[in-house]
Amino acid sequence: QSVLTQAPSASGTPGQRVTISCSGSSSNIGNNYVYWYQQLPGTAPQLLIYRNDQRPSGVPDRFSGSKSGTSASLAISGLRSEDEADYYCAAWDDSVTGPVVFGGGTKLTVL
Amino acid sequence: QVQLQVSGPGLVKPSETLSLTCTVSGDSTSSYYWSWIRQPPGKGLEWLGYIFYTGTTNINPSLRSRLTISIDTSKNQFSLKLNSVTSADTAVYYCARTTLVNLFDSWGQGTLVTVSA
């Protein structure tokens, strides 16, 4: 059971905008930054979003992150087939479960 | 560009010790923190722990009694030892560079470790 809660699956059609959510608590998302990772099939995860809404160089601006209270969201606009992957949120955690916690992951299917 | 390479046995017997090494190139282990993360087959990611070049570690509370992380800056490597393994420890093990800004910003390719007799 993951500390951060994500829906196990999401889907969309090419060109569509999809949102993936991540829910936590005051000890993690509420008081710390949120990070998002993309894991393409058979590969290691890659950093997609850092510090809630910042994109590393090379990440398309189709990907955006936001945070509100104890929840965070990853939005993907102009959905493409190559976006089909697992997406994980992560955060620093100030409680005994920390200091780093992950969400259970959301498998995004491009229909 | 930093690269991380995990090495170690792919098969470990139950009750024995799982040992892995992560070799870093393109960066110095005398900077940043360095983490271990695992992913059981078909499941999500679990942070195991990290180490600073000084040897200071922070270990996932759920594994604190079984997990040791060490670093050898002269070889630009850091290592994991997980003792008394069971089938629940079967997973792909990743190493990753860790920073306060980016969290895990560079990952190794991962290695599958199977715990089986």
- A87 interfaces chain B, CB cutoff of 8 Å: no
HSE-CB for A16 with a 13 A CA cutoff: 14
Is residue A24 packed enough to be buried (19+ CB in 10 Å), middle (13-18) or exposed (0-12)? Answer: buried
**Within an 8 Å CB–CB cutoff, is residue B47 touching chain A?**
yes
Is B107:B38 a contact under the CB 8 Å cutoff? no
Q: Which of B45, B50, B109 lies nearest to residue A88, judging by beta carbons?
A: B45
pLDDT tens series, chain A, 111 aa = 889 999 999 999 999 999 999 999 999 999 999 999 999 999 999 999 999 999 999 999 999 999 999 999 999 999 999 999 999 999 999 987 778 999 999 999 999
Closest Cα in chain B to A105: B44
Q: Which of residues 6-45 of B touch A (CB under 8 A)?
A: 35, 44-45
Q: Kindly identify which residue of chain A lies nearest to residue B107, measuring between CA atoms.
A: A44
